[in-house]
Structure 1
Amino acid sequence: MSHRYASSPGGLPPQTQTPSDSAVFTNSYALIPHSTMRDIVTSFLPHWDRTRAWILSRPLSGFAETFSQYIVETEPGGGSDRPDPDPQAEAVLFVTRGTARLRLDGADHMLEEGSYCYIPPGTSWGLHATGAEPLRFHWIRKAYQVVDGLALPEAFVTHEDKVASDPMPGTEGKWSTKRFVPVEDLRHDMHVNIVAFEPGAIIPFAETHVMEHGLYVLEGKGVYRLNTDWVEVGPGDYMWLRAFCPQACYAAGPGRFRYLLYKDVNRHATLRPFG
């Protein structure tokens, strides 16, 4: 099955356009629509060449607590051999456009649209764009929470086409999830999955749970409940949901509704700030 991957528009709207975007920032959720991801809101990163990033979430009082999420754009030939200054950071990379060479612990891996990489903390890695067009990828970072008696997870590289979709019980496959790591593997303290809904499929109750979420709409349209609000979302829109923020949704377009989902998992509730 072919996949479509939304991407940031960049550029700058004309002066004839009025600022009527649906961007919302609240104490329980944020909605950063595709239309707001323009050139003037990008950031540059140390030790990255010919690269810019849309930083969608970051640890911040009253905002994301467990992770950061970037959309990174690297021009042909650009990249980094010193990508992350934090040795305690783990990462997931998910490519949505272009091609790249990932050097991971001394071995090279060629990446394309749909490639998925998990990088544990303390791992040596570098990334360079190899194609004729800019590389676009999601970079999700989290400070890994070490547990005595649990080893670090291994690094791996795969592609979403190699990962089966697991249907949610009782949905006849209308609601499914691609899980890139086994749910029973407690070494992992975050999951980054792809959730898909066929047209008309729904989350039929208000999920309210301890997991924090970052959701980026890869394709399709949906109507999403965020706390007390119902909002329309489409390709390239991003949502951050605070822990315990009620959520539900239904697919509202003629095609599949798919999003990249971050959540923190498999750890006790932290009773004091991370050290």
Structure 2
Amino acid sequence: MSKPSYFAPHGGHPAQTELLTDRAMFTEAYAVIPKGVMRDIVTSHLPFWDKMRMWVIARPLTGFAETFSQYIVEVAPEGGSERPELDPNAEAVLFVVEGEIDVTVEGKHHTLVPGGYAFLAPGADWSLRNNSKANVTFHWLRKHYQKVEGLPVPESFVTHRDNATVIEMPGTEGAWKTTRFVDMADMRHDMHVNIVTFQPGGVIPFAETHVMEHGLYVLEGKAVYRLNQDWVEVEAGDFMWLRAFCPQACYSGGPGPFSYLLYKDVNRHVHLTLNPQR
């Protein structure tokens, strides 16, 4: 198993002598939360957790991206929770970017290291604890699971990036690849959390415009990313948040690979009411 090197925020606080200028922006179509924004002062905490803090980088907002939340969670040694999730309808993905965490799912123990991935079904019995001697940082993506009559709820599972399916995008000769943890044909799943990787010079050669909402956390590298009508420079540690139909494209800047953790909602009918009953 390889040991990927992904960016994880460490907080801190800028000096009074630093300039305010940054790349943070929030528009009607997209938001960019650069790594420099993730300081101590903007952290949050949760009940029934010990020795943790988190950066909330996405949450449902009416008129923007409404389907998911995303946290970057930092847990100190001996920290964790026996009651991490209080919403029985919430499904989740955990993805580790730094350190290691012990996760128990339905009574089975797993140790997740960088690249480690856990899908947690709605109502799953799970807990986690940092039994190491260093902080661990992971992404926690949550979505209200949309049940469909006649389809069973997907089971929880734990895996690693190295064991996932890597798909080369057609005609790119490997310059654009997607690491997929769930079979796209599995209709039980209503969200996908993948890793998208571009080699230096790789591109999305058209402005993708579609119904899926997106969260994109840059794991490594840098690029120029097209968001709606703007070209924005992004690098490891930055987060992009796109509402449905926001055009997107990119040029990978090098010198190494550019990759990001990608969320999107999938496989469900469009609700035809303003306030759907979920």
TM score, norm. by length of structure 1: 0.98
How far 1:156 moved relative to its partner?
A: 0.5
- Aligned runs of 1:80-159 on 2, under 5 Å? 80-159=81-160
Q: Return the alpha-carbon distance in structure 2 between the equivalents of residues 69 and 248 of structure 1.
A: 22
Kept after mapping to 1: 8 A contact 2:154/2:189? yes
Flag structure 1 segments of 5+ consecutive residues without an equivalent. Answer: none
Match of 2:197 in 1: 196
Kept after mapping to 2: 8 A contact 1:33/1:236? yes
Would you say how many aligned residue pairs link Structure 1 and Structure 2? 275
Corresponding residue SS for 1:269: coil
Q: Return the alpha-carbon distance in structure 1 between the equivalents of residues 209 and 175 of structure 2.
A: 21
Corresponding residue SS for 1:126: strand
Residue 162 in structure 1 maps to residue 148 in structure 2: no
Residue 236 in structure 1 maps to residue 237 in structure 2: yes
Corresponding residue SS for 2:219: strand
Residue 255 in structure 1 maps to residue 256 in structure 2: yes
Kept after mapping to 1: 8 A contact 2:164/2:179? yes
Corresponding residue SS for 2:41: helix
Match of 2:224 in 1: 223
Q: Return the alpha-carbon distance in structure 2 between the equivalents of residues 235 and 36 of structure 1.
A: 13
Corresponding residue SS for 1:255: coil
**CA displacement, residues 209-240 of structure 1 (integer Å, 9 cap, x when unaligned):** 00000000000000000000000000000000
Q: Return the alpha-carbon distance in structure 2 between the equivalents of residues 205 and 24 of structure 1.
A: 23
Kept after mapping to 2: 8 A contact 1:9/1:34? no
Kept after mapping to 1: 8 A contact 2:199/2:254? no
Kept after mapping to 1: 8 A contact 2:165/2:181? no
**CA displacement, residues 69-103 of structure 1 (integer Å, 9 cap, x when unaligned):** 00000000000010011000000000011111111
- Aligned runs of 1:2-151 on 2, under 5 Å? 3-151=4-152
**CA displacement, residues 130-169 of structure 1 (integer Å, 9 cap, x when unaligned):** 2111110000000000001000011100000112321000
Q: Which amino acid aligns with 2:164?
A: V
How far 1:62 moved relative to its partner?
A: 3.2
How far 1:2 moved relative to its partner?
A: 5.1
Q: Which amino acid aligns with 1:13?
A: P
Corresponding residue SS for 2:231: strand
Corresponding residue SS for 1:214: strand
Kept after mapping to 2: 8 A contact 1:9/1:35? no
Runs of 4+ in 1 over 3 A off after TM superposition: none
How far 1:3 moved relative to its partner?
A: 2.4
Q: Return the alpha-carbon distance in structure 1 between the equivalents of residues 89 and 165 of structure 2.
A: 30
Kept after mapping to 2: 8 A contact 1:97/1:135? yes
Match of 1:274 in 2: 276
Kept after mapping to 2: 8 A contact 1:25/1:31? yes
How far 1:63 moved relative to its partner?
A: 3.0
How far 1:113 moved relative to its partner?
A: 1.2
Corresponding residue SS for 2:19: coil
Moved more, 164-173 or 231-240: 164-173
Q: Return the alpha-carbon distance in structure 2 between the equivalents of residues 204 and 139 of structure 1.
A: 30
Q: Return the alpha-carbon distance in structure 2 between the equivalents of residues 105 and 27 of structure 1.
A: 41
Q: Return the alpha-carbon distance in structure 1 between the equivalents of residues 90 and 189 of structure 2.
A: 13
Corresponding residue SS for 1:196: strand
Q: Which amino acid aligns with 2:217?
A: Y
Kept after mapping to 2: 8 A contact 1:153/1:188? yes
Q: Return the alpha-carbon distance in structure 1 between the equivalents of residues 134 and 3 of structure 2.
A: 20
How far 1:61 moved relative to its partner?
A: 2.0
Kept after mapping to 1: 8 A contact 2:3/2:114? no
Q: Return the alpha-carbon distance in structure 2 between the equivalents of residues 249 and 158 of structure 1.
A: 29
Q: Return the alpha-carbon distance in structure 2 between the equivalents of residues 208 and 100 of structure 1.
A: 37
Corresponding residue SS for 1:30: strand
Corresponding residue SS for 1:40: helix
Q: Return the alpha-carbon distance in structure 2 between the equivalents of residues 22 and 244 of structure 1.
A: 22
